[in-house]
Chains A and B, each alone.
With several copies, the nearest count.
Chain A
């Protein structure tokens, strides 16, 4: 019995907000990310979850708008802040929760936790605990599509801070010279942990770095779902046509601290408040209402429905068996005849 939200719907060169089905799916997905992470945050606060946690609350439009441009057969690589990408690509909420709760039924059988959720079935090649670690992997998965004569696209998520790693440079260059079908989605939330983009780079936007590789780079309001989707769709189409990679930069903000150890000493309360007023979900709901795409009641019902799915995820995951130490030794290598 799966516990998923309805798949995202692409709308080509239309906006998501203009299409009721697409709008419903995208809004539900954003709620799912928000509510999943709020639940996780409180489980953590109540000592029911261990390890550390990187929440993307406030960045929902970036993950969901970008994933809306993908087909089921497309792939993603994700980051330490990956719950949104995972849900956007269609992951099961119970298996995600089970992983965070270190259960045998989790996506990684309790071996990976929040930073390593992968889901082969939905083309999620994995979150990554290494900043920029997924970027060369995305380029390679895209190379494979080319070598296999498939028209799938790989969407590679990473943060602003990741663009200062050598891995970013080498991988984007490889994708560029080989015209690989990959879309580099930079979720620029203004900080790499405590280090601001003003300090970490001398250019205004990460997209300005695209010129070094001879590929397109665009910067969009990452809290505007329609804007994110439009930019992502264009880059995905370009990649699928075999015209090579692009960088899409979504300007957004994380409401919560970087991780559990963050005291927010590097940014002001005012800045955080200001960004909270730019809530991607609120924004999208207001737009849907004013466009008449969905009514407030529909939206309220939809949010309530997602809330139930999260509740179910917690229930099912909590009662699932703990992951099993007995199988560890045999799990390091894939057995040669399997």
Chain B
């Protein structure tokens, strides 16, 4: 793997650029993705490289844009839609859920919707409750959608390229706090397979399963725990649907202790599914402690920085939760 370091945003931009060069049917639609360069600067100079037709600025019409992507995808294009904040997918749920996700199956299989929907989720920017949600559980619950959450710059590129290749609608949920973080990213148009979880650190005492920005927080917590003599495995789920449980089950079998970490509110969140899968499989017999979850509180994200920090898991919370977990039962 390369040791070239670029940011998560740059990796996404590079992926889009490479896909658009390779395939004229790939194009992008979104609000302020053109000369503005995107609300989070992700599309950057793509507008100047590919022009206004293929890097298409749109009015503030999320439902219309996503619907237009569905229609374009039905007749041979490969649209990439950027929704400025994942919170605004609420505006487009009909086209995402009732149209894009169902068309291939419901209409008999001839037509399909090779569409990619990119949206930044997560808190930590002081943007308050309507601009900070983590709604991945909604999409993972919808048959017909694939859902990925890249946690590194490399996967931001690799998962997006796989999503663009995929003949089905794929939701790519990026984390705002990761855009400016850097990591080694392969220059070639590499693919990260959709549907594969990744073991990003190995340890014999317990397993941390995380998504999005919680992956890097779990890794930092793991460092601190190592100093306390607790060796933890960290698994980056990467694809929420279809979900790859195998590495998770193996790690749980090996350690007997697991902590599931997500930023989203706990109640009926994604990690409930990981827990339920473990509890209904033979993994349950190798557990030495309850299956613990460390999640966001069931509270809208507040504006004040100290409040915002208080409602989602921070590194010290992860450390404490693992220490507790080691004391179980």
Contact = CB atoms under 8 A, between A and B. Distances in A.
B59 A265 contact: no
A133 B90 CA distance: 11
A236 to B, nearest CB: 17
| Most chain A Cβ neighbours within 10 Å, of B32, B39, B59 | B59
Contact of A115 (B68, B130, B299): B130
B32 A112 contact: no
Interface stretch (B103-111, B232-240, B286-294): B103-111
Contact of A334 (B98, B125, B168, B305): B168
Contacts of B54: 147
B59 A173 contact: yes
B245 interface: no
Given A130-B88, A336-B167, A137 B111 contact: no
Interface stretch (B74-82, B197-205, B270-278): B74-82
Interface residues of B, number: 77
Contact of B63 (A50, A113, A167, A328): A167
Interface string A263-297: 10110000000000000000000000000000000
Contacts of B302: 110-112, 323, 328
Contact of B61 (A52, A147, A164): A164
B246 interface: no
A171 B303 contact: no
Contacts of A334: 104, 109, 112, 167-168
B130 A195 contact: no
| Most chain A Cβ neighbours within 10 Å, of B54, B125, B304 | B304
B80 to A, nearest CB: 13
Contacts of B31: 192-193, 195
B70 interface: yes
Interface in B286-320: 297-300, 302-307, 310-311
A131 interface: yes
Nearest to A139: B68
A107 interface: yes
B306 A325 contact: yes
Interface in A86-130: 102-103, 106-113, 115-116, 118, 120, 125-126, 128-130
Contacts of B106: 108, 111-112, 116
B35 A192 contact: no
B57 A199 contact: yes
B304 A322 contact: yes
Given A130-B99, A165-B60, A174-B58, A323 B306 contact: yes
B71 A140 contact: yes
Contacts of A171: 64, 67-68
B112 to A, nearest CB: 4
B139 interface: no
Interface residues of A, number: 76
A2 B31 CA distance: 41
A177 B166 CA distance: 30
B284 to A, nearest CB: 25
Interface string B137-174: 00000011010000000000000000001111000000
A319 interface: no
A332 interface: yes
Interface string A305-338: 0000000000000000011010011011111101
A325 B126 CA distance: 15
Contacts of A113: 126, 128, 303-304
Contact of A166 (B57, B61, B105): B61
Contact of B71 (A125, A195, A332): A125
A165 B36 contact: no
Contacts of A50: 126, 305
Contacts of A106: 108
B243 interface: no
Nearest to B242: A333
A84 interface: no
Contact of A108 (B63, B87, B108, B146): B108
Contacts of B109: 109, 331, 334
A265 B37 contact: yes
A111 B58 contact: no
B63 A118 contact: no
A165 B91 contact: yes
A265 B35 contact: yes
A161 interface: yes
Nearest to A150: B75
A116 B107 CA distance: 6
A120 B131 contact: no
A323 B130 contact: no
A144 B127 contact: no
Contacts of A194: 32, 34-36, 57
A91 B79 CA distance: 28
B64 A167 contact: yes
A143 B71 contact: yes
B128 A137 contact: no
Nearest to A141: B71
B59 A195 contact: yes
A10 interface: no
Contacts of A147: 27, 53-54, 72, 77
Given A166-B61, A173-B61, A194-B34, A118 B127 contact: no
A120 to B, nearest CB: 4
Interface of B: 27, 31-32, 34-37, 39-41, 53-54, 57-77, 79, 87-88, 91, 94-95, 98-99, 103-112, 125-131, 143-144, 146, 165-168, 297-300, 302-307, 310-311
7 contacts: A116-B107, A118-B111, A141-B74, A154-B71, A323-B304, A329-B297, A333-B104
Sort A-B residue pairs by CB-CB distance and give the 4 closest, nearest first: A136-B67, A140-B71, A170-B64, A51-B126
